[in-house]
Structure 1
Amino acid sequence: MVETGVPPVPSPAAVNYPAPAVTLPSGLEVLRTYSGAFMCLEIIFGGLVWILVAASNVPVPVVQGWVMFVSVTAFVCSILLLLVFIGGFTHVVNTNWNFVDLAYHFFALVFYFGAFVLEAAITSLANQIRENNGNTTLGLDNRSLGLNVAATIFAFTATICYGCSMMLAFRRWRS
Structure 2
Amino acid sequence: MASDITRMANLPSGIRICSTFPDILYLPELIFGGLVWILVACTLVEPNNPQGWVMFVSVFCFVMTFIWLMVFAVGGHHNSSGWAAADFIYHGIAAFFYLSASVALARVTLDLRGSNAKGIKDYKLDISAVVFSYVATLLYFIHTVLSAIRWKTF
Q: TM-score, normalised to structure 1's length?
A: 0.79
Where structure 1 has 5 or more consecutive residues not aligned to the other structure, the ranges are 1-21, 130-137
Aligned-pair CA distance for 1:57: 1.3
Aligned-pair CA distance for 1:25: 1.4
Task: State the distance in 2 between where 1:42 and 1:61 align.
Answer: 25
| Preserved CA contact (<8 Å) 2:81 2:151 | no
SS at match of 2:22: helix
Amino acid in the other structure paired with 1:172: R
State the identity %: 37
| Preserved CA contact (<8 Å) 2:109 2:123 | yes
Aligned-pair CA distance for 1:24: 2.0
Where structure 2 has 5 or more consecutive residues not aligned to the other structure, the ranges are 1-8
Alignment: residue pair count? 145
Instruction: Give the match for residue 139 of structure 2.
Output: 161
Q: TM-score, normalised to structure 2's length?
A: 0.89
| Preserved CA contact (<8 Å) 1:66 1:115 | yes
Aligned CA-pair RMSD: 1.6
Instruction: Give the match for residue 152 of structure 2.
Output: 174
Task: State the distance in 1 between where 2:100 and 2:58 align.
Answer: 11
**More helix by percentage:** 2
Instruction: Give the match for residue 92 of structure 2.
Output: 106
* Structure with bigger RCO (C-alpha 8 Å, 6+ apart): 2
Larger Rg: 1
SS at match of 1:158: helix
Task: State the distance in 2 between where 1:164 and 1:42 align.
Answer: 11
Q: Which is further off, 101-110 or 30-39?
A: 30-39
